[in-house]
Structure 1
Amino acid sequence: MTRTPRRSFRAFAGAALVAALAFSPLVVSQAATAATAEPPTDTDVTWGVRTAENAQGAARQNFAYTVSPGGRLDDALVISNHDDAPLDLDIYGADAFTTQSGQLDVLPRAEESVFLGTWITVGQGRVSIPAGESVEVPFTVAVPANATPGDYAGGIVSSLPQPEQSDGIAVDRRLGIRVQLRVEGDLMPGLAVENVTVEYAPTLNPFGPGAATVDYTVRNTGNTRLTAQQSVALSGPFGLLRSDIAGVEPVPELLPGESWTVSAHTDAYVPLFWMNVDITLAPAGPAGFDGAGDPPMFVTTAGTLAIPWAQLVLLVVLAGAVVLIVRTVRRSRRRRKAAEEARVKAAVEEALKTRE
């Protein structure tokens, strides 16, 4: 299954911040919105969303399903109007993706969904909610018979689009709950490291370490959602002076086909003419889904020259100084020896003259 996450918000570029804030309950639904009907407190969104209590479950943190290809299920979203005026909202399903900050977000309505967003059919595309009341919005998830096995992510979104403002910005306030769906079949979890680049920057301080930067891409090559703990270790030839780069964050949960760029940097690498790099991933599958297991650890290696120029210059200077000192000492000894020989010769000649 090949999936290319869509991350363009060109149609809503002017409202990116407002939309992201308004939709944050989907990102944090496991801790907040899914459990309560309270809206966010840091925006002017005046409604809340939660999962309905029905045959699919009660007090759920989000919508999570395991469905066979060709399967179908019914569920519902509850929307509560906390305002003192009626509220008209658009309701729709959309594909989700992992943002550059590592959070789950969904496509805006202006962008076309390809997978789960197209499998979700909402009973009411637009709902009117009286002041202070709640409504239950049913929806259906119908998985195509030819759907590729694996994990899919999306969201049920409630949206309050507003007319274009005088400055040309169209604001779209969104609130929703994530939908995690696994299509049954052969599951093949896998992560890979690609596009590894290694750079070493020597220091001018002959007594200080150099800087090393390792950039690479982690790609989800399987068909299940995965996260991973990761480490980047540096060493010299034959594994000498091996050390881990500190502060390498875990890989966030990636959907199949998604990738994550990583840059690991240290200013404390001691160069030994060659720098080995070992990148290790320890993948883990999502909680609540069984049957796939975690893939084995992934390890890849790379390397680059790490010539200690400052130390070499210092070594050359010290070697030159030693050679100069040795030559000076030898020259001084030769001069003293020549002077002593001349003194002795002069003394001998003077003694011979006296005997004559």
Structure 2
Amino acid sequence: MPPRPIRPAVYAAALALSVLPALSGPAAHAAEGEWSAAPVSAGGGRPYFYLEGAPGSVLEDRLSLTNPTGRPLTLRLRGTAATGTGTGTGAWITPAAAEVRIPPRTRAEVPFTVTVPVGAPPGGHTAALVASGGGRQARVPVRVRVAGPVLAALTVEDVTLDRGNSLIRYALVNRGNTTLAPSLAVRADGLWGRRLRRPARPLPVALPPGGRAELTEPWHPPALDRVEVRLTVTAPGAARGEATATAAFVPWGPVAGAGCAAAGAGAALWIRRRRRQGADAPQEARPANELATTGAAS
């Protein structure tokens, strides 16, 4: 049975009781340092919150705010929207108080709840608790694993060959309900053999459910060839996806010059042949009256 949300009055009491003397003895040397925000941890520090629950459940945890300075500190708290929720942009996180006043050299533990929407898809989701004050801001990640069947599906789409910039352009789309860390392999084959081979390597991108990333891959296109470029993407737990693009590369400048030269040579040859044919042709007989006139004149 999912835990019930804490009532505001209980929140206030929990917050008041959690104000503890934070620094004494050797730790007091850090009294003039900056304030900090981190998950409350019984043994060892946690770099982020990790919570699990079914859609519709309410999860609870505590944020530790430490004021090592010699003056009171007021911090404002808010939760960010969870990524890849499929349920809009509303924040899942509700802190016990939107504003917390912390006495000098004191640590406050602030409860908060994470309300998982009823329609939240299974898989991993990431949000954050944000504390701000004293001219700075701190974000503490909140990772939520929503129970249910996990579907990992990844596709590569819209592959195009940008000749002018020597780039392969493509898009990765997460068609599943869990965040994916994709890897990419590239190969290119031409009429005269292999043009490019790049084995699979991790990409510097994390795709949330439903996420789309427009990416590029550098390459050197051939001067003269017909090439098929094939992209293969994989991710842990996901079926691999493939897509191809084909293009013909022709150096039109030299080709056009050669064509003009060939056309000129052909025209010159035709003219020479016509002249030769005219020189070799028999002279036509003159008319009889023209011959008679010529004789009389003699």
- Taking structure 2 as the reference length, what is the TM-score of the superposition? 0.66
Matched, 1:152 2:134: no
TM-superposition CA deviations, 1:9-30 (whole Å, max 9, x none): xxxxxxxxxxxxxxxxxxxxxx
SS at the partner of 2:235? strand
Encode CA deviations 1:265-312: one digit per residue, 9 max, x unaligned: 22x33244322111111213xxxxxxxxx1122111111221133664
Report the AA paired with residue 36 of structure 2.
Answer: G
Does 1:132 pair with 2:105? yes
Counterpart residue number, 2:247: 304
| Pair 1:234-2:176 in alignment | no
AA in 1 matched with 2:232: T
1:264 equivalenced with 2:217 (yes/no):
yes
| Aligned match of 2:116 | 143
Q: Distance in 1 between matches of 2:101 and 2:122?
A: 37
1:224 aligns with 2:197: no
Query: Partner of 2:235 in structure 1?
Result: 283
Post-superposition shift, 1:117? Answer: 5.6
Distance 1:311 1:265, change over 3 A: farther
1:124 positional shift: 1.6
Superposed CA RMSD in Å reads: 3.3
Shift in alpha-carbon separation, 1:161–1:309, aligned structure 2, 3 A = farther
Aligned pairs (5 A) from 1:5-24: none
Quote the residue 1:46 is aligned against.
34
Per the TM alignment, residue 258 of structure 1 is displaced from its structure 2 partner at its CA by: 1.7
Return the match for 1:212 from 158, 162, 166: 166
Amino acid of the structure 2 residue aligned with 1:63: F
Q: What residue identity is the alignment partner of 2:124?
A: D
Distance 1:97 1:118, change over 3 A: closer
* Distance of aligned partners of 1:82 and 1:228 in 2 relative to their CA distance in 1, 3 Å threshold: same
Q: Map Cα deviations across residues 306-350 of structure 1 (whole Å, 9 max, x no partner).
A: 113366468x49x97xx99xx9xxxxxxxxxxxxxxxxxxxxxxx
Q: What letter is aligned with 1:94?
A: T
Amino acid at match of 1:216: Y
Q: Is the 8 A contact 2:87 2:119 kept in 1?
A: no
Query: Match of 2:186, SS?
Result: strand
* Structure 2 runs not aligned, ≥5 long: 1-32, 270-298
What does 1:77-226 align with in structure 2 at a 5 Å threshold? 77-96=63-82, 118-160=91-133, 173-201=136-164, 212-226=166-180
How many residues are aligned here?
A: 231
Tell me the alpha carbon deviations over residues 149-202 of structure 1, each in whole angstroms, 9 at most, x when there is no partner.
Answer: 23221001102287xxxxxxxxxx32021111121112111122223221224x
Aligned match of 2:272: none
Partners of 1:270 and 1:146 lie apart in 2 by 50
Q: Indicate the SS of the match to 1:95.
A: coil
Change (3 A) 1:277 1:161: farther
Distance 1:114 1:97, change over 3 A: same
Q: Distance in 1 between matches of 2:119 and 2:256?
A: 66
**In 1, distance between residues paired with 2:66 and 2:183?**
39
